[in-house]
Each structure stands twice: as C-alpha cells, then as structure tokens.
Chains A and B, each alone.
Chain A
C-alpha cells in the first residue's frame, strides 16, 4: 500500500469538551525512505493531551510509539518524512526549525528515552549531566545548579545521591540509570513530559514510587504526561486515558477505566489475554496470537490486524475500518468489535 492509499485511513482528531488541549496531534504520518526501502512507521495518528492529564500509549512492538514521540521532539533522522500537525502551546511543533525546536526541547517539552545507553553520556559523571541540564534552561549559578541537581536526584529516589552524583553511568544499575534520566527530564519543570518505557527497568516498588512522583508533579505543576509502556497494569493504574496502537495507527482510545472494563478492539483483547498471570503453572504455554506483526513496508489493504484476528470476516480484508467515536469517549477501529464482557482471550486465534 502506498502512502497515498494509507492517507485514505485518515483518522479524525478525537474531540473532548473542556479547555484547549496542551498538545493536539492530528493525522501524524512518518515514513522512512532509505535505499529503496520504505517503512510506513506512523500512519495517521491523532490524539490530544490536556494539562494535568496522563495519556498512556500502549501497543505492539514496532507500532510507532517511539517514532511518533520522537517526531514531536524533532529527533528523527533525515531519512524520515513527516506530515500532519502537532499543536503545542499555539505552535505547530512539526513546522519549527531546528533552532526554534531546541528552545522547547528540554524546557517545556521533555522526553525520557527508551534507551539509557544512547541518552546518557558514558564518559561524563551523572552529576555533571544533570547540572548541565539544569543550567541549559535557567540562568542559575553553579551552586544553585548543584543544589537543584541534588534535589532532583532525591526526588527520583536515587539511593545515596551524594555518592551517585560523582559516578559514571556504567557504575549504576539499570534501574538507577533510568531514574537519572527521569531526573534530567524533570530539570526544567516541563509542561509536557514524554516517558518512553521510562519505568520498564524498575522493580514494582520503585516503579510505584516513580509513578507517584510523576502524579505529584502533575498535581503541583499541571504537567501533562505521555507514558509509553508495554505494561498494561501500569497504564490501568495510573493513566487517565489510553491509546492502543497497531501498525502505526490508533485502534482504540478511551479513558482508562472504560477501556479496561469495556474492551472492544480484538487486538486489545488479545493483549490483555497474553499478560503473564500468577495463576499459571510453571512451563505452561501461553495463549499466542498467530502470525507476525504487520510488515510496515507492505501494509495489507484492509484491517492491518485481519491476518491474526479471530473475529475477521471477508469485509475486514477488503477495507480498513475507520477510527471513530462509537460510544461517548470511546473510540475504536473495527468492523466487528468484541462484545463487552466477552471471553478474555477471544482476540487472537
């Protein structure tokens, strides 16, 4: 399918009542073109986030969660072709020059990246890295920057911050590195924080502490948070709203409480059915959804989940289902949605 055909799938931007959203993404598309290979990574993604809200983005590995966020931050490689718009505080982030973007990045717009090794400098002490982040966005002297850096390390509950301040990234455990990255992202009190798998390497207790910290920040400063995660339990516990992505598109969107009790999208059902559960006995085989994730170089003409969907019928293979608000506040893209309260594992085959 060509990019033109993909654009037929354009999904309308969901509209909510109330104040202006802080960020409004409409019909975001990202395509990579390199040496004759074309990857349609994001194919018409629309969503919005209000100040003080937390939006969770969950979904298939490779469904475009990181790429769509990096697009907002102006951090994609030159091979990326980006279209659509992302209105943030009255400006379209996608139309900013690199110089204008740099003013936002790290200041009112911050991101915690999925890959600690690529975002922390291995040759620099972590204290220096945080102090630099503090000084980059505020006119503070050395002493004040040090104090603020130390405060941030305490805020993210890094044990023994006085000592860790002088250590290098490789001397920290995976979970500690992740907390340092969160501290750096919080340095300038951003209005929007994008956390890409930011708590994946943390144990449940620390994860809960970090999430509580983010919520507290949200209440105090009205920060909007986009949380990208594979952890459905985490999304269910902390997010206000949840978007489920598949093949570069949103396929279900609802407030967290609605989504998890009224799943309509077979793909979301399949995700919920595959969560590790304590009741399972050791070595039990897990229910699997057959087939491979969609090949983004050649998307099928109909619903991208059709080859793997247990509810698929002929029409699913012919035409992609529109992403629409079928119930108040609940959006999905499916011709034959699940019945509410149906069996938990009916999504996959």
Chain B
C-alpha cells in the first residue's frame, strides 16, 4: 500500500505526448499525427477537471494516455505515487483498479456475449472483491444506482439494451470497485437529461462522500461547467487554457475559448442558430503538419506576426488561471 501525501495531487500528468504514424497511400503523404503534444495538468483528491475542445482535438487520446491504453510516447503520469508510464505491468494493473474509464462509445466497450450482471460483476471477480453472495448483492445495488432494474435488465445482453442503457451499464461497472479516479469520455452524452441528472448527482455524491476525482470530457460546455472545479480547453493536441470553471467561463482568456463559448446553443430557436453561425470559422489545421508557432493562428482573429514565429506557452495570468496565447483576451 502506498502512503498518499495529502498535498500531493492524486494525478499529475507532465508533458504527455502521443503520436500515431500513418502510412501514405494513393498519392497522399503519410506522416505522424500529433494527437497530444506536451500536455500537463494535476487532479487533486475529490476534484473534477473538465476537458473541452472541438472534435479531433485529442481529448480521447489524452484520456487513453492517462490510463495507459495505449501508453503515451513520452511524458509522466503520476498516480497515487506511481509513475504509470514507467512502472511494471503488475503495478499498472494494481493502479488500474483505482482508475476506471467510461468510454465514448457505449456499445463498443461491453462484451456482446455477456449478460449485463456478469459485465458489472467482472471487476469484482477480477479483483477478488467479496464472496459470491455479496457480489450478487453489489451488482444489484450498482444497477439500481444507475437506474436499471436488476430483475428486468440483469439477464439481458448488450444488444437487448438501448444506447443509454448500455452507457449506464458501463458506468455501473466503472464505480463497482470504488475507484479513486474516473475518466469519463462523453460518458453521459447518450443519456436523456433526467437520467443524466441522476447519474451526475450520483457522481457528485461519490465525490463528496468518498472523495472520488474525475477527468470529465464532454462537448456540452454547460454540463462541463456544472460538474467541474477546473476546466481545461484543448486545441489540436495542446492545452490552450486551464482555470477555475467559474472564472474561465466568465473571463475566457484564449481566443479559442471565447469562440467555443460563443457557440453554446440555447433553447430559443432563433438565437441558437444565429449563435452557431458566429462560432469558429475554417477547418481545424491538420494534426500531421500543425501550423508553426501558435496552432490556432490560422483561425485566430487576433493573430499577429509573432504568433507564427513563437509557440505560446501556458502562463498563469490570475491565480490558477493560465493561458497559452501571446495576446490573451482581456475583457
């Protein structure tokens, strides 16, 4: 058992890099996809870090690098005192028990041949938690917690469930072993808002009662704000801004964050469509050959000559609120 220093963050990620080599074909050049390029952050005990960013910005890749599936190309991930990137397999398996992930695709992550109750019981069996009877009770309790009646759903297989029901099975499995960290990749976006509220309240209860921490990835900016202590904004494999949720949403510093926040739809039909059109213009640049200097410069309304020459690094502007931009937005 590792002694955890109270002041140490639960998770400390440093300079994480993940790259994929793609082969060229049909006259198209291959190259290296820079999916995650030098990302660093901490997550404290009982804290939720939200991650937002457009599609393809590297959020899922970042999440998978944290849980070492696959291991990142370089960088460090310190979790409860162990560097997961360098540790032995056995240590990693032990750490994984305390670190669970709910994936973006609810169907792909469940074994199609297993019954729902066996899927939820698997981690309990794998880590030898409890006797047979206690395990069965725990499985029922877990299914109840995520709003699935164990009598009605326990014996079914994934294809007999709806999309949102599969996602809840994945969530039940993730919380089975009372982990210390749950990595949620779009974990609640396939749920209707009533179930979503129920699951989010469950997450919140586990956080305040058991001190669980979350890395919470979602496209829903309002949702992220509601659950997160701090929020990180990702753009083309890099963090461009990170800070306390309230502050970041009230006074965004990075032009990209400003554009993201401007695109939040609302329930007034005419306003929603108007705002959507206001948002970021142009295609995101290729992650194979990202622009020199600042990776946002090809779409940035504030870009100047310096932005092409010099890559901005994250710097703290107000306590805990950092931005990677040469000309941050000041009200």
Chain A residues with a Cβ under 8 A of chain B: 32, 34, 37, 39, 58-62, 65-67, 77, 114-118, 157, 159-160, 162-163, 165-167, 171, 173-176, 197, 200-208, 211-212, 230, 232-234, 236-238, 256-257, 260, 270-272, 274-278, 280-289, 292-293, 295-297, 348
Cβ of B227 < 8 Å from any Cβ of A?
A: yes
In the bound complex, CA of A292 to CA of B147 (Å):
6
Residue of B nearest to A179 (CB): B55
Contact of B221 among A116, A200, A204, A256 (CB under 8 A): A204
B108, A277: Cβ atoms closer than 8 Å: no
Contact of B162 among A66, A256, A285 (CB under 8 A): A66
Cβ of B213 < 8 Å from any Cβ of A?
A: no
Cβ of B94: which chain A residues have Cβ within 8 Å of it? none
Contact of A62 among B165, B197, B266 (CB under 8 A): B165
Residue of B nearest to A208 (CB): B276
Cβ of B87: which chain A residues have Cβ within 8 Å of it? none
A41 shortest CB reach to chain B, Å: 9
Given A61-B163, A77-B159, A197-B163, verify A282-B227 contact (CB < 8 Å).
yes
Between A and B, 19 residue pairs with Cβ closer than 8 Å are A34-B160, A61-B164, A61-B192, A62-B162, A115-B106, A117-B107, A162-B26, A171-B22, A174-B60, A174-B186, A197-B190, A205-B260, A205-B263, A208-B277, A277-B222, A278-B225, A280-B225, A281-B246, A297-B152
Top 7 nearest A-B pairs (CB, nearest first) are: A175-B55, A61-B164, A208-B276, A237-B272, A117-B108, A286-B197, A276-B223
B227 shortest CB reach to chain A, Å: 7
Cβ of B327 < 8 Å from any Cβ of A?
A: no
Of B172-180, B283-291, B300-308, B311-319, the segment with at least 4 beta carbons within 8 Å of chain A is B283-291
Contact residues, B179-210 vs A (CB, 8 A): 186, 189-198, 200-201, 204, 207-208
A203, B219: Cβ atoms closer than 8 Å: yes
In the bound complex, CA of A339 to CA of B200 (Å):
29
B118 shortest CB reach to chain A, Å: 16
Given A162-B28, A260-B267, A272-B267, verify A280-B283 contact (CB < 8 Å).
no
In the bound complex, CA of A294 to CA of B25 (Å):
52
| B 279-301 to A, binary, CB cutoff 8 A, 1 in contact else 0 | 11001101010000000000000
In the bound complex, CA of A310 to CA of B197 (Å):
17
A76 shortest CB reach to chain B, Å: 11
B148 shortest CB reach to chain A, Å: 8
A272 shortest CB reach to chain B, Å: 7
Cβ of B60: which chain A residues have Cβ within 8 Å of it? 173-174
Cβ of A118: which chain B residues have Cβ within 8 Å of it? 107-108
Which of B26, B196, B208, B267 has its CB near the most chain A CB atoms (within 10 A)? B267
B147, A293: Cβ atoms closer than 8 Å: yes
Cβ of B249 < 8 Å from any Cβ of A?
A: yes
Cβ of B159: which chain A residues have Cβ within 8 Å of it? 77
Residue of A nearest to B267 (CB): A236
Cβ of B82 < 8 Å from any Cβ of A?
A: no
Given contacts A256-B269, A276-B225, A287-B197, 20 further A-B contacts (CB under 8 A): A32-B160, A39-B160, A60-B194, A61-B191, A62-B161, A62-B164, A115-B108, A163-B286, A200-B190, A203-B219, A233-B265, A237-B273, A271-B194, A275-B267, A276-B222, A278-B225, A286-B200, A288-B194, A293-B195, A296-B152
Residue of A nearest to B249 (CB): A278
| B 47-74 to A, binary, CB cutoff 8 A, 1 in contact else 0 | 0100001111000100000000000000
Cβ of B263: which chain A residues have Cβ within 8 Å of it? 204-205, 208
Residue of A nearest to B59 (CB): A173
B145 shortest CB reach to chain A, Å: 11
In the bound complex, CA of A277 to CA of B194 (Å):
14
B219, A163: Cβ atoms closer than 8 Å: no
| B 8-34 to A, binary, CB cutoff 8 A, 1 in contact else 0 | 000000000000101001101100010
Cβ of A278: which chain B residues have Cβ within 8 Å of it? 221-222, 225, 249, 264
Residue of A nearest to B245 (CB): A282
In the bound complex, CA of A140 to CA of B222 (Å):
46
A48 shortest CB reach to chain B, Å: 22
Cβ of B195: which chain A residues have Cβ within 8 Å of it? 60-61, 293
Which of B161, B208, B220, B264 has its CB near the most chain A CB atoms (within 10 A)? B220
A12 shortest CB reach to chain B, Å: 26
Cβ of B37: which chain A residues have Cβ within 8 Å of it? none
Cβ of B322 < 8 Å from any Cβ of A?
A: no
B276, A37: Cβ atoms closer than 8 Å: no
Cβ of B246: which chain A residues have Cβ within 8 Å of it? 281-282
Cβ of B111 < 8 Å from any Cβ of A?
A: no
B55, A280: Cβ atoms closer than 8 Å: no
B55 shortest CB reach to chain A, Å: 3
B202 shortest CB reach to chain A, Å: 10
